Structure 1
């Protein structure tokens, strides 16, 4: 390695990017007087009081010439107060340009931190209606698409006809409290209110469905004051049932209309049967898909009916006295 002026460097060398301007007269120096005899040699001259240009050259293959530590020692030897990290740790201009260039893919610029495409807004339509009771023929909102799947009207109508007959009053439901699990649009609970129930608890986990569908349907039918909405998962509702419902006792009716592929019916029915929300006179309406095995009983309740509507099946559990009355 050698340090020399551009004119005195006789051997081939790689010029370092380090070029120093100094007003100090370094004088001439040889390899014997160099503070780094094994690393550097110095050759300098000063003419016309011009600042001396000191060029550091290196025979190493490093693209940055001298190591940062050696350069710092050299500068400090001649009175320069510099920070090696500031002067010698910078990446080359070529690497900077390479980093600053945006990524390209098939001739198109790709943004690294591109935001996710916004989902289209969710919308509703009025394809449902109340089938019987005081709010009969009132249109109900339901979301477009398959993210919420209301109970088909033919299934809903059959379920309420069976419940009314089993309760001994074919014209209307026995007065009582209804728990609508996985309520979605609220069409089942609203049907119950229209046919004589005094209070309905709706359990729905989707805040948008609650605010833009369920609540609007309750306002349209005039049943908002008789309704209590729980925006929570069904599993959490059962875990904290005493907190949500209080000491009101078991419900008279419970409807279960979950998304088919997102629940384990065995676990769900066991959780319902072991809950304090189910009493000896409770009726439970369960909608379930094909190839699903449903037990003949749910706790102290027996299966009153099990009917099929295309790919949808309907099971109703109730007290033993209701089964005898229906026969």
Structure 2
């Protein structure tokens, strides 16, 4: 697993052994960030200088990709000690500690946000179905800025249940991954 583009292009990330953590594939990450760059960059969203939230962060691959491509700051939320260990190792290896905050916690019961984020990246465990409850909780705690872009990875075939305050702008399939692109309209 590697950073696909930007400042840290080609840099290797620590990945978990086994199947408990399933990092977003390089191919899917590349497609997500290309979609963000080409679909919204000309609109009212730009990744450059954005505050980003990576919920269910796992190894941090999504958020670190955002930093590599110009995001100003990423907050990672994850509850798993194993994931947090990998995340800390990846942040340290890239020298990114000054640009990140790591919250050990549950994205379905998050603490209040210190600042709202313009981009939310979310890759909950595939079997969990936590997409909608997490989005609702994160919005209620102030993590999601008005007009923020939200990217949710799910298994192919799962219907995205869009919570109140969000609109589904696009949905794409990349192999076994399905990605929903939403906007927060509250």
Q: TM-score normalised by the shorter chain: which range applies?
A: 0.7 to 0.9
- Structure 2 gaps of 5+ residues are none
Q: What TM-score does the superposition give when structure 2 sets the normalisation length?
A: 0.88
Q: Distance in 2 between matches of 1:216 and 1:264?
A: 26
Contact kept, 8 Å, 1:287 with 1:312, in 2: the verdict is yes
Q: What residue in structure 2 maps to residue 294 of structure 1? A: 160
Number of residue-to-residue matches in the alignment? 182
- Structure 1 gaps of 5+ residues are 1-127, 321-327
Matched, 1:309 2:183: no
Q: Distance in 2 between matches of 1:184 and 1:264?
A: 15
Q: Distance in 1 between matches of 2:163 and 2:120?
A: 12
Q: What residue in structure 2 maps to residue 255 of structure 1? A: 121
Q: What residue in structure 1 maps to residue 31 of structure 2? A: 158
Q: What residue in structure 2 maps to residue 318 of structure 1? A: 183
**Aligned ranges 1:271-282 → 2 under 5 Å:** 271-282=137-148
Matched, 1:201 2:67: no
Tell me whether 298-307 or 151-160 shows the greater mean CA deviation.
298-307
Contact kept, 8 Å, 2:150 with 2:182, in 1: the verdict is yes
Aligned match of 1:232 in 81, 105, 124? 105
Aligned match of 1:178 in 28, 41, 52? 52
1:233/1:288 CA distance change after superposition, 3 Å: same
Residue by residue over 1:211-264, the C-alpha shift from the partner in whole angstroms, topping out at 9 and shown as x without a partner, is 2x1111111112111111111122231xx22xxx33x2x211101101111234
Contact kept, 8 Å, 2:48 with 2:72, in 1: the verdict is no
Q: Distance in 2 between matches of 1:159 and 1:141?
A: 21
**Greater RCO, CA 8 A, separation 6+:** 2
1:299/1:164 CA distance change after superposition, 3 Å: farther
Q: What is the root-mean-square deviation in Å for CA atoms of aligned residues?
A: 2.1
Contact kept, 8 Å, 1:164 with 1:174, in 2: the verdict is no
Q: What TM-score does the superposition give when structure 1 sets the normalisation length?
A: 0.52
Q: Please tell me whether Structure 1 or Structure 2 has the larger radius of gyration of its CA atoms.
A: 1
Q: Distance in 1 between matches of 2:31 and 2:183?
A: 16
Q: CA deviation at 1:182?
A: 0.6
